[in-house]
C-alpha cells in the first residue's frame, strides 16, 4: 500500500530530518514542497570557512559505525569520511593548573570517577529505550534534576567537578536543566556512555570530509526547486479536508500553502511557537523544556602546530570558556583547525558577551592551554544560542517532568500534521542519526497510512 502517491505534502524544516522525509516521500510519488525559514539548508549542520579553503563543522560533526542510516547516505552521495582519531598527549587545565598526559581522561581521582560512571551505568541500564516514560521509577527520575541527583548521590569532589564537564560535552546541558530520566535516556539512546564518549570505535570516530553540510546540500540538490528558503512557518490551520500553512516573509509579506499533509521537522521549542488551529492537544514543549546550550569556536592555524609538541589538540578545562578542544584539521594536515566547545551554563554566559569579548576570551583561553602555539590566524564563533531557528543545540533538553508529559505523544499526529526531527527519535535522540531515522519513520507513516486515531482527529471531524 502506498497512501502517499499523489498526496500533497508540505515538509517544514530543511534539516536532515526534513530533507530525508521529503526524499522518501518524493520517491513514493508524493507532491512535496519543503518550507525552510533560513536562507540555507542543514539547520543544526552548518559549514564554517577557514583559511586555506578548509570548511569546518560549526554545527554537528561526528559520527560512528552504529550510525548506519547516516553512513548509508554518506556513501550514496559519494562523500568521504575522515578519522577523528587523535594521536599525542591531552592537555588539562583544572583549577588553574595545566598538565599534559597520554590519557584522554583528566587527572582526577580514577576511583571516584569510576564510581560515578558505575552509578550512571545503572541508571542507563534501567531506562526503557522504547518508552522511557514507562521505565521503573520513571515518575521519580523524571521529577529529579541531574544536579539534585549529583548533590544526593555523588560525594567525591573530583566526581562532582567532572560531572558538569561530562554532561556539557555529551549533551550541551547544564545539570540543573535536565531530569535524571532525560540524562539516562539520552545516554542509552546514543549507545551508552562509553560509545557516546569515545572517538576511536565510538560515536566520534569520523567526520565528513569537507563538512557535514555537504550531505545536506546534496540531499537538497536532489529535491531541487521543491525546497523554498526564507519561509518561516507561523500558522497551521486544518479542516477535515486539508491544511493551510502560513509563512511570515522577511519583508512582512505572507505566503500561504495548501496541502493534504504537513510534516513538521523543526525542533520542539520552535514547533510549540507555531499557531495551530485547532490548537495542539499534546504539547511539543513545556515551560521547563530547555534548549541545549552550545557555542563552537574554530581556531585556524597554518598547520596542526600542536602536533609538533607531541600534543593531540584534545584539552579539557574547568576554567572556561572552552571546556574542551579537539583537532579538526583536514586529513592531509594542509591547515590546522582546533575546535573549542563552550557548553551548558558556560555557553549561556559566553553568549551574553559581545563578539569582541567572545573572541578575546577564546584567544586568552587558548593562550593558557597551548602557550607554545602562536596566535591563530582566524577565530570564528558559531553561537547556537543566538540562532533563532535552532533553539536547542545539540538538542532540546527535557526538564523535570517532561518525559512523562511529552514522551507518550511525541510522534502522535495532530490531525494532518505529522512530526519528525531528532527529538522525536527514540534511537540516537539528539544526533544526526536520530534526525534521519525520524525522517524515515514519518515518511513511512504517510506512505503506509497510520492506523492510530489521535485525539486531534476527533476535533477536526466535528
Ligand X SMILES: Cc1cc2nc3c(=O)[nH]c(=O)nc-3n(C[C@H](O)[C@H](O)[C@H](O)COP(=O)(O)OP(=O)(O)OC[C@H]3O[C@@H](n4cnc5c(N)ncnc54)[C@H](O)[C@@H]3O)c2cc1C
| List of residues contacting ligand X (CB under 6 A) | 12-18, 35-38, 43-45, 59-63, 231-233, 265-267, 270, 294, 296, 384, 389-390, 393-395, 421-422, 430-433, 435
Nearer to ligand X, 227 or 404 (CB): 227
Provide the minimum distance between the beta carbon of 38 and ligand X in the complex, in angstroms, as a whole number. Answer: 4
Written as nine digits, the cell of 419 is 512530526
Other C-beta atoms closer than 10 Å to the C-beta of 65 total: 13
Provide the minimum distance between the beta carbon of 43 and ligand X in the complex, in angstroms, as a whole number. Answer: 2
Provide the minimum distance between the beta carbon of 301 and ligand X in the complex, in angstroms, as a whole number. Answer: 21
Nearer to ligand X, 113 or 243 (CB): 243
Q: Which parts of 217-293 are beta strand (E)?
A: 227-228, 233-238, 243-248, 254-259, 261-264, 275-277, 290-291
Is 227 annotated to bind ligand? no
Is 233 annotated to bind ligand? yes
Check if the beta carbon of residue 294 is closer than 8 Å to that of residue 323: no
Strand 311-317 versus strand 89-94 pairing type: parallel
Nearer to ligand X, 242 or 248 (CB): 248
Residue at grid coordinates 550512571: 120
According to DSSP, residue 411 is labeled: T
Nearer to ligand X, 139 or 230 (CB): 230
List Cβ neighbours of 163 (8 Å cut-off, separation of 6 or more).
Answer: 116, 150, 154, 175
Nearer to ligand X, 416 or 457 (CB): 416
Is 37 annotated to bind ligand? yes
Nearer to ligand X, 15 or 290 (CB): 15
Nearer to ligand X, 59 or 106 (CB): 59
Provide the minimum distance between the beta carbon of 264 and ligand X in the complex, in angstroms, as a whole number. Answer: 9
Q: Which parts of 252-401 are beta strand (E)?
A: 254-259, 261-264, 275-277, 290-291, 294-301, 311-317, 324-327, 336-343, 378-383, 396-397
According to DSSP, residue 373 is labeled: S
For the chain, helix, strand, coil in percent to 5 are 40, 25, 40
Nearer to ligand X, 92 or 206 (CB): 206
Provide the minimum distance between the beta carbon of 253 and ligand X in the complex, in angstroms, as a whole number. Answer: 15
Output the CA torsion sign for 70, 76, 77, 83: positive
Provide the minimum distance between the beta carbon of 450 and ligand X in the complex, in angstroms, as a whole number. Answer: 20
Q: Which of 76, 9, 460 is nearest to 261 (CA)?
A: 9
Distance CA(292)–CA(397), nearest Å, equals 6
How far CA 120 is from CA of 2, 143, 152, 194, in Å, comes to 44, 17, 13, 11
Backbone region of residue 23 per phi and psi (left: phi > 0; alpha: psi in -120 to 50; beta: other values): alpha
Check if the beta carbon of residue 328 is closer than 8 Å to that of residue 61: yes
Provide the minimum distance between the beta carbon of 263 and ligand X in the complex, in angstroms, as a whole number. Answer: 11
Provide the minimum distance between the beta carbon of 36 and ligand X in the complex, in angstroms, as a whole number. Answer: 5
- For the annotated binding site, the residues are 36-37, 233, 341, 423
Binding residues for substrate: 341
Residues that constitute the known binding site for FAD: 36-37, 233, 423
Amino acid at each position: 500500500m502506498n497512501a502517499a502517491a499523489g498526496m500533497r505534502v508540505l515538509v517544514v524544516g530543511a534539516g536532515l530530518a526534513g530533507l530525508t522525509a521529503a526524499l522518501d516521500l518524493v520517491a513514493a510519488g508524493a507532491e512535496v514542497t519543503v518550507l525552510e525559514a533560513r536562507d540555507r539548508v542543514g539547520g543544526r549542520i552548518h559549514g564554517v570557512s577557514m583559511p586555506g579553503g578548509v570548511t569546518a563543522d560549526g554545527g554537528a560533526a561526528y559520527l560512528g559505525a552504529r550510525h548506519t542510516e547516516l553512513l548509508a547516505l554518506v556513501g550514496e552521495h559519494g562523500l568521504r569520511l575522515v578519522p577523528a582519531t587523535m594521536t599525542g598527549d591531552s592537555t588539562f587545565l583544572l583549577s588553574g593548573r595545566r598538565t599534559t598526559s597520554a590519557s584522554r581522561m583528566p587527572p582526577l581521582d580514577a576511583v571516584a570517577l569510576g564510581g560515578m560512571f558505575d552509578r550512571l551505568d545503572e541508571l542507563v541500564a534501567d531506562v526503557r529505550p522504547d518508552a522511557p516514560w514507562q521505565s521503573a521509577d520513571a515518575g521519580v527520575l523524571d521529577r529529579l534534576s541531574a544536579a539534585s541527583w549529583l548533590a544526593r548521590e555523588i560525594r567525591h569532589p573530583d566526581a562532582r567537578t567532572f560531572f558538569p564537564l561530562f554532561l556539557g560535552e555529551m549533551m550541551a546541558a547544564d545539570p540543573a536543566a535536565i531530569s535524571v530520566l532525560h540524562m539516562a535516556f539520552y545516554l542509552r539512546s546514543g549507545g551508552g556512555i562509553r560509545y557516546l564518549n569515545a572517538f576511536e570505535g565510538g560515536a566520534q570516530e569520523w567526520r565528513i570530509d569537507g563538512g557535514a553540510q555537504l550531505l545536506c546540500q546534496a540531499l537538497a540538490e536532489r529535491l531541487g526547486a521543491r525546497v523554498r528558503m526564507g519561509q518561516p512557518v507561523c500558522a497551521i490551520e486544518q479542516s477535515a479536508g486539508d491544511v493551510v500553512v502560513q509563512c511570515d516573509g522577511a519583508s512582512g509579506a505572507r505566503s500561504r500553502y495548501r496541502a493534504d499533509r504537513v510534516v513538521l521537522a523543526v525542533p520542539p521549542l520552535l514547533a510549540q511557537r507555531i499557531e495551530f488551529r485547532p490548537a495542539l492537544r499534546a504539547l511539543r514543549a513545556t515551560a521547563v523544556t530547555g534548549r541545549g546550550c552550545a557555542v563552537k569556536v574554530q581556531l585556524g592555524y597554518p598547520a596542526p602546530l600542536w602536533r609538533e609538541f607531541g600534543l593531540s589538540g584534545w584539552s579539557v578545562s574547568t576554567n572556561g570558556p572552552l571546556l574542551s578542544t579537539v583537532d579538526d584539521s583536514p586529513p592531509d594536515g594542509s591547515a590546522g583547525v582546533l575546535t573549542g566547545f563552550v557548553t551548558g551554563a558556560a555557553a549561556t554566559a559566553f553568549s551574553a558577551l559581545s563578539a569582541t569579548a567572545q573572541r578575546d576570551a577564546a584567544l586568552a583561553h587558548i593562550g593558557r592551554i597551548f602557550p607554545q602555539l602562536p596566535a591563530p590566524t582566524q577565530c570564528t564563533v558559531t553561537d547556537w544560542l543566538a540562532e533563532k531557528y535552532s533553539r536547542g543545540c545539540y538538542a532540546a533538553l527535557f526538564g523535570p517532568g517532561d518525559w512523562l508529559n511529552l514522551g507518550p505523544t511525541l510522534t502522535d499526529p495532530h490531525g494532518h500534521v505529522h512530526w519528525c526531527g531528532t527529538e522525536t527519535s527514540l534511537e540516537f535522540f539528539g544526533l544526526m542519526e536520530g534526525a534521519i531515522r525520524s525522517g524515515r519513520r514519518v515518511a513511512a507513516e504517510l506512505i503506509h497510512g497510520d492506523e492510530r486515531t489521535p485525539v486531534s482527529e476527533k476535533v477536526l471531524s466535528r
